[in-house]
Amino acid sequence: MGSGKVIGLLLALCAGLLAWMYFGLDPEFQRLSGAGGFLDARLGGYDAEAVLAMGTALADPARTEARELARFMYLGPDLVLPLAATLALCLLLRGFAPGAVLYGRRLEARHARLLCLLPLAYGVVDYAENAGFLLYFPPATPGAWLVLNLPDILPWISRIKFTLLAVSILLVLRLAVFGKIAPKR
């Protein structure tokens, strides 16, 4: 199977997982939790108060189904999505970067490997955010330090995640559309 087909399958997997998460799981979680949708599904971001409110809502004994759905989401589709997105972005960068011109310099294969650090960083940060949710929200019983600091840390992790993802996507688009065009001197 060629890398084009693999990239297509990974992008289709990402699209399918995103559709399932946003249009299937998130509305159900909103109904069950009473505190809104999944925090990392809020494209406008969230703050420490939203983390605390979600923790309070999920701590309610009557919200067992919401806790189970949140755990399923973070250990199911949101476990696969960062990996699929990271792999797709790395393959796209490795495909478009060699021979492309970026900042007046022709890129080689070694530059493509360096550029792959951006989507790899996105994947690591996304998994860190998911781990933070799993460690903070019930049924987990976080320690005193986590209770005190995770509500402030998680919104920053989310911002960094979306920034790394956006920069990675923009870089792929830049290399795909304008990569082979040499600057005029």
Give the Å distances, CA to CA, from 51 to 18, 47, 64, 183.
Answer: 22, 7, 18, 47
Rg (the chain; Cα; Å): 19
Q: What is the pLDDT of residues 71-98, one digit of tens each?
A: 999 999 999 999 999 999 999 999 888 8
Of the pLDDT bands very low, low, confident and very high (cuts 50, 70, 90), residue 182 is: low
Q: Specify the length of the chain in residues.
A: 185
Any domain includes 7: yes
Any domain includes 20: yes
Q: What is the pLDDT of residues 24-78, one digit of tens each?
A: 999 999 999 988 899 988 888 899 999 999 999 999 999 999 999 999 999 999 9
The count of structural domains within the chain is 1
Please determine, for residue 178, whether its predicted confidence score (pLDDT) is greater than 90. Answer: no
Whole-number Å distance between alpha carbons of 129 and 134: 9
The string of DSSP codes covering the chain is --HHHHHHHHHHHHHHHHHIIIIIIHHHHHHHHSS-S-GGG-TT---HHHHHHHHHHHHSGGGHHHHHHHHHHHHTHHHHHHHHHHHHHHHHHHHHSTT-EETTEE--HHHHHHHTHHHHHHHHHHHHHHHHHHHHSTT----HHHHHHHHHHHHHHHHHHHHHHHHHHHHHHHHHHHTTPPPP-
Distance of CA 69 to the CA centre of its chain: 18
Question: What value does the mean pLDDT take over residues 135-143?
Answer: 91
Please determine, for residue 184, whether its predicted confidence score (pLDDT) is greater than 70. Answer: no
Tokens 């297509």 sit on residue? 8
Mean pLDDT across the chain = 92
Tokens 């067992």 sit on residue? 64
Any domain includes 183: no
Q: What is the pLDDT of residues 91-119, one digit of tens each?
A: 999 988 888 887 778 888 888 889 999 99
Any domain includes 134: yes
- Find the domain containing 78 and state its range: 3-178
Any domain includes 184: no
pLDDT, position 112: 85
